[in-house]
A and B are shown apart, each in its own frame.
Chain A
Amino acid sequence: MLELLREMFSYGFLVRALAVGTLIALCAALLGVTLVLKRYSMIGDGLSHVGFGALTVAAAMNLAPLQVALPVVVLAAFLLLRLNETGKIKSDAGIALISTTALAIGVVVASQTTGLNSDLNSYMFGSILVLDGDDVVVSIVLSLAVLVFFVLFYHRIFAVTFDEDFARATGTRAGAMNLLIALLTAVTVVLGMRMMGTLLISGIVLFPTLSARRVCRRFSSLVVTAAIISVVCFVVGLILSYLVSTPVGATVILVNLAVLAVFSAVGALRARLQREA
C-alpha cells in the first residue's frame, strides 16, 4: 500500500490532482449541505453545463479556461438565483433551459473550431492531466477562500437554510446569503469541473450530503460528516482510478455511490433498532 502511494505520488500531476481535488471535494460537500436542504440541488448541475459552454468558447478563442469560465458561471449563478426568487419561470424548468442552452452553444462552437474531439471529451468527463502550475495555485487559493467564507457565515447559512422567512424577518440579510451561496457554488463548480468533468461535478456536490443525511440528525454533524465522506471518497477514487486506469471523476462518483449504499443500510438498521427498543 505504502509502496503504491509512493509510486503514485512520484508523478507531479497526481500530487497536484490530490491537493486540488481534496480541497474542491471539501468545498463541494460543505456547499452541498445547504444546496440539498434548500432544494437547490439542480443549480450545481445547471452551473456545470454553463461551465462546459464557457470552456469550449475559451478554447475556441485561445483564452485561459479559468479566466473565462469563472465570470461566466458566476453570472449564471446570479441569474439562476433571480429566476428562483422572482418565480417567473419555475426554477427547475429555468435551470434546464439554461443548461441545455449552454450545452448547445458549447457543442456548436466546438464543432466550428476544433471539432468534436478529445478536448470536448475531457471537458465532459474530466481529465486529471489538465492542471498546470498556475491552475494549481489559483485553485488552492480560491478553494481556501470558499472554505473561509463558509466558516465565517456558517451560522447564517444555517439560518437561511432552515427558515429563510424567519432569518429575513429578524434582520439577517437572506438575499445576500443566497447570493454568497450561489457565488461560492459557482467558484467550486468551475474549479472542480475540469478534473471531475462538467457532467459529473454536481455528483460530488450532492452525494456526500445525501449519505450523511442517512445517519446525521444535527446540522453541525451533517456538515462535518459530509466533508469527511467527500474527502475520503475523493482520495479513494483517485487511488482506484490510478490502479484500474479509469477516469477519476467517474470513479469518485462510484465510490460515493458505494458510501451512500453503506450509509443507507446503517441508517435503516438504526431506525429498526430504535423501533424495537
Chain B
Amino acid sequence: MALVICENVSLRYDGQTVAENLHFTVEKGQYLCVVGENGSGKSTLIKGLLGLKTPAEGTIRYGDGLHRSEIGYLPQQTAAEQDFPASVREVVLSGRLGGMGLRPFYNKKDRELAEESMRRLGISELASRPYGALSGGQRQRVLLARALCGARRLLVLDEPVTGLDPVVTAELYQLVEKLNRQTGLAVVMVSHDISTALRYATHILHLQRTQLFFGTTADYVASAVGRAYLNESKA
C-alpha cells in the first residue's frame, strides 16, 4: 500500500484554484520530483501533503500506517526566522519532538540521533553556534539535519537547494539519494532544476495548474510533455 494517496485533489490559495485534478501516490522507496513553472501549485501541494492545508476537493490520505511523526520536512527558507535566537543543536533536536508522544523532555537516544544527524551533514562543529549567524548553505544543512532526525519513512523537501553553492548542492543531492537507496526512505522533492530531477528521481509529477504528467522518470523523458519541457529548459 502507498504511503501517500492523492485522489482527485484540488488546492486553493487565497481563494484561487492553483492546482486541480491531482491523482498520484507516493510509495516506499520512491523518489518523486515535483516539477513545473513558478506558480504552478508545487509549494501549495507540499503543504497539502503535509496536512498544513486542506484540499478544496478530493482527499490526501496516508497509507501503510504512515504517521505524521515519521515524516521529515525541509521547508523553503523564509526571511522571518533568520534572526531567531536559537543554537544549531536546539534547532536540530526539535526534529525529534514529533516522535516523542507525551514525553516532555529529550532523552539520550534523541540527543544521539541529533548528533548523528549533524555529523552526517558535517555540521557537528557548528552545534553550539547561533543559527542566525550561519550562512545560507549552513542553515539549509541545519534544517535538513532537523528533517532527518525525525524522517523515518518519508522526507519532503521544498526547493532544497535555493541559495546553495554548486558544491553544497551536489552534496545535498547525493546525501538524499543515498538515504533513499539505502534505507528505502521515500522522498518527495519540489525542484525547478529539471536536470537533477531526471538524474535522481524515480518518478516525476509535472504540474501546470493541473497534473500534466505522473509516472516514472523514463516514461517522462519519452512523453510529449517531458520532451517539450526539456527542450524549453535547455533553450
Interface residues of A (CB under 8 A from B): 37, 151-156, 158-159, 162-163, 165-172, 213, 216-220, 222
Contacts and interface: CB of A to CB of B under 8 A. Distances in A.
A224 to B, nearest CB: 12
Contacts of A37: 84-85
Contacts of A219: 85-87, 90
User: 7 tightest A-B contacts by CB?
Assistant: A171-B98, A217-B130, A171-B69, A170-B98, A171-B68, A169-B50, A218-B87
Interface of B: 47, 50-52, 67-69, 71-73, 75, 81, 84-87, 90-91, 93-95, 97-99, 104-106, 128, 130, 132-133, 146, 150, 156
B68 A170 contact: yes
A165 B75 CA distance: 8
Given A162-B81, A166-B94, 11 more contacts: A152-B104, A155-B106, A162-B94, A166-B146, A167-B98, A168-B50, A171-B99, A213-B85, A217-B133, A218-B87, A220-B87
Contacts of A151: 104
Contacts of B69: 170-171
B189 to A, nearest CB: 15
Nearest to B96: A155
Consensus secondary structure, chain A interface: helix
A156 B132 CA distance: 20
A88 to B, nearest CB: 13
Nearest to A222: B85
A159 B94 contact: yes
A224 B129 CA distance: 18
7 contacts: A155-B97, A158-B94, A168-B51, A169-B51, A170-B150, A171-B97, A218-B128
Given A153-B104, A216-B85, A219-B86, A169 B73 contact: yes
A220 B104 contact: no
A170 B85 contact: no
A218 B68 contact: no
A154 B100 CA distance: 14
Given A163-B81, A171-B68, A156 B130 contact: no
B75 A166 contact: yes
B85 A155 contact: no
Contacts of A169: 50-52, 68, 71, 73, 156
B86 A218 contact: yes
A172 B52 CA distance: 12
